[in-house]
Each structure stands twice: as C-alpha cells, then as structure tokens.
Amino acid sequence: MMPSNCPPQSPLSRREFVSNAFALGAGAALPVRGAETKEVGRLGPIVGHTEETMSFLWMRAQAAGEYVLEVTPENGGAAKRIAAQAEAAQDLCLHWRVEGLEAGSRYRYRVLNGEMVIAGDAEQVFATAPKAASAGKVRLAISSCAKEDAGSRAVWKRMAAEQVDAVMLIGDTPYIDSTELEVQTRRHQEFAAVPEYQELLRNRPCWWTWDDHDFAGNDSSGLAVGKENSRLVFTRYRPQAAYGDGKEGIYTSFRYGPVEVFMLDARWFAMTEASYASPVKPSLLGRVQWEWLQEKLLASTAPFKLLACGMIWDDKENKELDDWGSYAHERKALEKFIGDHKIPGVIYVGGDIHASRVLKYPTQKAVGYDLVQFIASPIHNSTIPSLNVYHPDLVRSAVEPHVFLVMDIDSTVTPARLSAELVNKDGERVFAYQLDLSDLTPA
C-alpha cells in the first residue's frame, strides 16, 4: 500500500537510500550525509500476536535478503523453518507467522541469514496462549505513554521482573507527533531500538494500539492529513494478526486463556463520519469498527473481556475533545448493547492522561452490572495532576510516574477473579483493585 500523501517526486528517503546501499553490496561504505545518516542496527526480534497454535515474530533486518525463522519446541521435537524477505520497500521489516504450535507450550527460536545466525540469544523463548477451554491464569502488563528515557526503560525491566505473560501498550507508545513517513519511521525505529524494550518483548507477546501522539499529534482525530502513513508504519513495526478491516484502522483482538482483549482504534475513524449511535453527532469508533466489536463481543466465550484504547472512557474535563466524554452517545450505545445481550465480564481500559485511576460506574440499569474502568499512565516521568479530576465514581487514583497495571486473571477459582495492581518501576504497589466475575454478571 502506498501512502496517499507521499510527494510523487520525492527523492529517495534516507531509509530507502541506506537500504539500497546495502542491497547493492553488503559491506560497501555508506555515504555520509552528516548526522542524518545514522545507521539503524538490527531491531528485535520480538514476539507479537500469539494464540494457542500460532504466533507472529518480528524483526527489522539491517540489510535486504532472505531471513529464516527457526522455531523449536523447548522440550524437544522437530524445528519449523519459515523464510521471509526483508525488502527496502517494506523498510526491511520482517513478519513471520508460525502455525501448527501447541497451546500453552514454550518454543525457542532463532533467525538465520543463509548459514549465519543473525539472532540466536538463549533468551529467545516464547509461550503460546493457554487453552481457552480450560481454566487458567494469566498475567498481563498494561500501560501507555512511553519514551526512550531511563524511567521508561526501567519500566520495561520491571514488567519483565514481574514475569508478565503478555504486554498491552495502549498508545503514545511512542510519541511521534507527525504523520510524515520519515518521522513515523524514525520514531518507531528509535522506540524499538531500546534494549530493555527488546529484552521484554523477545520472550512474551505484545499488542499495541495508538493514541493521539503516535497516530498524528495532540488531540488528533481521523481527519488528520497523512494518517495513511501512520497506519503503514504501524503495520510494518507492529506484528499483529490484523489491522482494522485490512484497509482502514488498526483495531484488533486476541484471546489469551481466560481473557479476550479488544484493542480499539479510537483515532482513525473519529470525526470522519456521522455516528451510528446518533446521526447528528460525530462517530468515534466508526461503523465498521462498531460492527466488528458487536460481532466479536457476542461471539466471545472469555470470562473477562477488556475493551482497551488510549482514550479514557469519561470526560477529561479540559479543552481537548479526545475522550469518550465527547462521544457519550457511542458509550451509551455500547452499554445498551452489553445490557441487551447480557454480556458478562466487560471491563474498560484507558491510558493517555498521565494519571492512573479506577472508576466504578453505576450502570446496573443499562448494563446489568457496574462497569469498571482502569486507567494506566504514564510509563515515562511526566505526570499531569490536573487530569486527576474529581469524579463521583472514582474508587482509586494516583499521580505517579513510571507505572503500569499488573493484571492477574484467574479462572481456576470460582467465581473467576481479576486482580489489578498499579506498579511502578521500582516494583512498589501504588494501588490495588479486585473484581470477581460475579460482580460483572447481569442479574
């Protein structure tokens, strides 16, 4: 897919230029163009979307060519080998889709280029998702708003130390503030180059969605010019199983043992069409994403269902429009849908506001139970105390840098339980909040 707003006559980008230089002759001296020509080393490998029997692995190669991913069961058995081509036209990003795996099993992997082992660290091990049909426990790390600073790096280390099974990054991960292809590409590279980030994600899956700063800029909506570039780079750097409907948006979902997570895209479609919930108001999710979400929610058999996006699910009460408070008509439609279909276990997750909160809404009448929202932000060091506003439904809050939620979801107990702790980079527990599935079951 070509980005629609690329100048047709633009000279080769720095990235294409460097890639071509490699393609023409590995080892040839690179022309130097001042500070601009910083060489991008190998990025990754990291683990992306992972299910019971399938996993995506990702790497950005240093040079064009064929790269073979070799995956071997940790307990022994035959290796699978999957070849992929690193091409300059795709910014040398490699996506391998590994199929035919066993649920709840561990696999070693390495990357080869011909006879040469490109990435063969002993820590390159991942586990497939536990069987959804059996009772199980999983531990997720969830947060938003990360930079490449020492504090963010300490958070990646702490997430690994907490031995989370999977990671969800829900926007401003990273900060880009541009839809230019060059800027999007450079920022994704810089973010992916952080060693602690690579170490965290080389042995557990990650899912991402974007918020305003990685999509286009502060308080941006789907009207942002050049958003096709942001989506193109996202599809290169984020190993997901699906990106929206394949043409628009980046929403996706995954089942991981006792939880199903819906990574919503609250940017691409926002303000671009009239709302499915009210024809005189703008849409947030857009009709195509709303139809997808309804279908997936109805089909879900997971005890807990997380609806995650960068935006918070209420009003920030500042001048900005990018929150569900500006689209209350769509939140109301969603809650009516959950209530009408008696869907248990739904939980809201948001980020963005550089403060962390838990809210419990009196939604008995519409939904059949009280909905809870968890807000986790920021991974970096910059908090915004003024966004930790009064709300009658607030049950926890903290204005604390370098934080993430550790969410333990356990269906081996009855009723199934979700225990969340807000943890900082030093492992300190900032607050905790627990829910039983019986709290989230319509009467």
Q: What are phi and psi of 302, to 5 degrees?
A: -75, 140
**Contact residues for 346 (Cβ-Cβ < 8 A; gap 6+):** 297, 305, 307, 338, 367, 371, 440
Q: How far is the CB of 183 from Fe ion (least distance, A)?
A: 17
Residue 16: helix, strand or coil by DSSP? helix
Per-residue three-class SS string for 55-80: EEEEEECCCCEEEEEEEEECCCCCCE
Report the residue number, 268 or 292, with the smaller CB distance to Fe ion.
268
Sort strands 346-350 and 372-375 into parallel, antiparallel or unpaired.
parallel
Q: Which of residues 145-164 bind Fe ion (CB under 5 A)?
A: 145
Report the residue number, 88 or 145, with the smaller CB distance to Fe ion.
145
Q: How far is the CB of 154 from Fe ion (least distance, A)?
A: 18
Report the residue number, 145 or 435, with the smaller CB distance to Fe ion.
145
Report the residue number, 191 or 304, with the smaller CB distance to Fe ion.
191
Binding track over 278-307 against Fe ion, x by CB under 5 A: ------------------------------
Q: How far is the CB of 230 from Fe ion (least distance, A)?
A: 16
Tokens coding 219: 């308080």
Residue 155: helix, strand or coil by DSSP? helix
Q: Taking CA 9 as the corner, what is the angle to CA 6 and CA 13, rounded to the nearest 5 degrees? A: 65
Site size toward Fe ion, by CB under 5 A: 2
Q: How far is the CB of 137 from Fe ion (least distance, A)?
A: 31
Sheet containing strand 206-209, edge to edge, reads: 206-209, 166-170, 137-143, 403-410, 417-424, 429-436
Which range of residues in 166-174, 202-210, 217-225, 429-437 is near Fe ion by CB under 5 A?
166-174
Burial (CB < 10 A; 0-12, 13-18, 19+), residue 316, is: buried
Binding status of residue 212 toward Fe ion by CB under 5 A? no
Report the residue number, 58 or 210, with the smaller CB distance to Fe ion.
210
Q: How far is the CB of 23 from Fe ion (least distance, A)?
A: 37
Q: How far is the CB of 419 from Fe ion (least distance, A)?
A: 26
Q: How far is the CB of 352 from Fe ion (least distance, A)?
A: 6
Binding status of residue 172 toward Fe ion by CB under 5 A? yes
Report the residue number, 172 or 335, with the smaller CB distance to Fe ion.
172
Report the residue number, 338 or 376, with the smaller CB distance to Fe ion.
376
Report the residue number, 145 or 334, with the smaller CB distance to Fe ion.
145
Measured distance CA(352)–CA(20) in Å, rounded: 38
Q: How far is the CB of 85 from Fe ion (least distance, A)?
A: 35
Binding track over 107-146 against Fe ion, x by CB under 5 A: --------------------------------------x-
Q: How far is the CB of 350 from Fe ion (least distance, A)?
A: 11
Q: Print burial letters for 89-100: b (CB count within 10 Å at least 16), e (below 16).
A: ebbbbbbbebee
Report the residue number, 145 or 167, with the smaller CB distance to Fe ion.
145
* Under 8 Å between Cβ of 139 and 407: yes
Which range of residues in 11-19, 169-177, 219-227, 402-410 is near Fe ion by CB under 5 A?
169-177
Residue 422: helix, strand or coil by DSSP? strand
CA 281, chain centre distance (Å): 28
User: Which DSSP state fits 368?
Assistant: S
Tokens coding 239: 């190993």
* Under 8 Å between Cβ of 284 and 324: yes
Binding status of residue 323 toward Fe ion by CB under 5 A? no
Residues making contact with Fe ion (CB under 5 A): 145, 172
